[in-house]
Amino acid sequence: MLHDPSQLDLMFQALADPARRQMVDRLSRGPASVSQLAEPLAMSLSAVVQHLNVLEASGLVRTEKLGRVRTCQIEPKALRAAENWINERRLAWERRLDRLGDFLAETKDES
């Protein structure tokens, strides 16, 4: 583990924690402040800020501070990047299965 971590590493790592997924889930329904994100979570505000920093470093969340309130938003492009990585592998696998099915059907015809 000496890798300097890619964006995909950071995004999947960020999504691997239930508290962070809960934060993303909350943000999927609209922007929120740090305290609003913290409210349903059974942990200190400091812990929430640390989770938020992980989310921000991953690119999944963008934040902006106005006055004393830090407002957080989802970054859908990042979400889409993670989604696409999985989707491409799954589709490759399914296309392969389709080809295999075609091949088996053909060889059956020829027998």
Q: Which residues bind its own copies (CB under 8 A)?
A: 3, 6, 8-9, 12-13, 15-18, 21, 24-25, 27-30, 74, 76, 79-80, 82-83, 85-90, 92-94, 96
Own/partner pairs, 19-22, CB within 8 angstroms, 24+ separation: 19/43, 19/47, 19/48, 19/51, 20/51, 20/54, 20/55
We find the least distance from the C-beta atom of residue 68 to its own copies, in angstroms, to be 25
We find the least distance from the C-beta atom of residue 92 to DNA, in angstroms, to be 22
Task: Count Cα neighbours of 88 within 13 Å in the Cβ-side half-sphere.
Answer: 6
Which does residue 69 touch among DNA, its own copies, none (CB within 5 to 8 A, set by kind)? DNA
Q: How far apart are CA 84 and CA 90, in angstroms?
A: 10
Which does residue 29 touch among its own copies, DNA, none (CB within 5 to 8 A, set by kind)? its own copies
